[in-house]
Structure 1
């Protein structure tokens, strides 16, 4: 990957959401944009990027129906997320060894440090978190304090709350949500809230009811591939592989690429998922327990990418059995799938029915169930379903 392109200090153009940009740009120009907008869709499809673009339009004094002017001082600051009236909040790791009385200040320091890193590199892959990150009650309180301050440059302020589903439950999601709800119910004049989340049902219904939900679908695989080739100079074979695995998400596609000679975090999760699938395909549980032991000390909240990749691997197996190989996303595993089908007689229906266990594992993950227990139960259930022993 070309690092000089990866580490851009200004936002690259938003890809694949032209019609939505046109509608939102016109609403901003006419002053019709609601004070609360909720952008939801899969990880890496461009929700926060779109939120930052909307903020740029709202803060631009020379906006047109097609969007911001791109040349004024406000636009130049917005493009670097340095506008004093643009406030971007997102999940951060809870600072260690911090007293409750100092938590708010420590979280704000962590957010500012993360903002510095984001400004240095806007084009970042959707990553597999190695530790729990969240939006805490103390963060929402800090946001609330900012809301009631006067704008610094113009007449408007924009607050972006990214990945809002990450409001931490053990820090009392209801308290954080209620604090946010009070702000959304009576926002000061000229104040806008742009909230993003991956899965709508993970947000409290009260938050959803105070906003206008807008869904961002994945973009065509061909557009993801072209972006990687034209903007990052990725060779066609690698770009095609990453685009197939991307689910229509540029951010996700970046996670399958090598950067600075390091394997992408989502590529690591993909490789791990095939170890898990091999364990499920054995006639005994030895490999299942071996894979579970490797997860000792792992936070269950970091299992999401591996479980997602296991779902892709199972789907590919079903497609191979059905003879629909053109739709397989893990194209480098064809020989492995051939080997499986030559030794096992697996009915596609058994694979389809096993997806319920993946959903169950994700629910347990959200409830912070022990990671080893989650994976052990998941693999045993899938193994029994594929073998035909499950009812």
Structure 2
């Protein structure tokens, strides 16, 4: 099996050598099933699990292998592709969001992605504000975003939607497509070059799995109809999976999201709202909140019709959300650090003796 078609290159070859592990080979995670991973190896497809040592060294669940990751694998047998993961190569990009639940945790959607397709259907569920959130995630990931407006056949004026998206995503390619009418395929095909890894993300029912099947030229992902009353869909894809396309690229399909909870900010927020951050430089006060301050260039842009007030509202909302999320994560890390310090604190002789005896059992 030639791993170059799955995205292997000279930079990853160097990183693999730097791991300094013996009797291992490179492999790529193509599906995540919890504690077990489907991997592609020089021998073909196989199953793999991490060693307990690696789990301990990685620590955080977000550092565990994810779809798209490159790992160092040791085969279980002389023949066959099943093995054990002993190491993880550095990621060139990581697409993540805040996992569901009250405890703030990062969830990796995909790793080592070159292009991130932000899929939004041109139906009743189309929402520019939601798309702005996906753009923040994309710019934070290290991957290059591409907006794919699916189901263009449902819109009376798809070009208007393209123009609206281009206003909130300057410099980002925006492509309107219709798998039903086979429109826009040439533009997508041009991006699917050999060695390139593409991931799709978007709301449930946006048509991600349909696009995978369309690009592959065969039904490799299940699809299902959406509700007619509100154009909302159900989760068709239940886990992340990577597919090799006939164009030469590899594509990662991900489960749809009811609501994207942002995780962290690495410059993606200011990049997604670049027009507002540039206007803010012209405000009279450097710490302007763009609310009631005099001499606010952002407010003046709204009054003149240059800026959509709803875009400013989303700018301020996501700013507050990211600050709150960052504060919660700092608090969690302090609690973890305190717990580790407490567990490593000196104990009485009895406790030390019992621990010594337990270690030898």
Bigger Rg, which one: 2
More helix by share: 1
Q: With structure 1 as the length reference, what TM-score do the two structures score?
A: 0.26
Q: With structure 2 as the length reference, what TM-score do the two structures score?
A: 0.28
Higher relative contact order (CA 8 A, sep 6+): 1
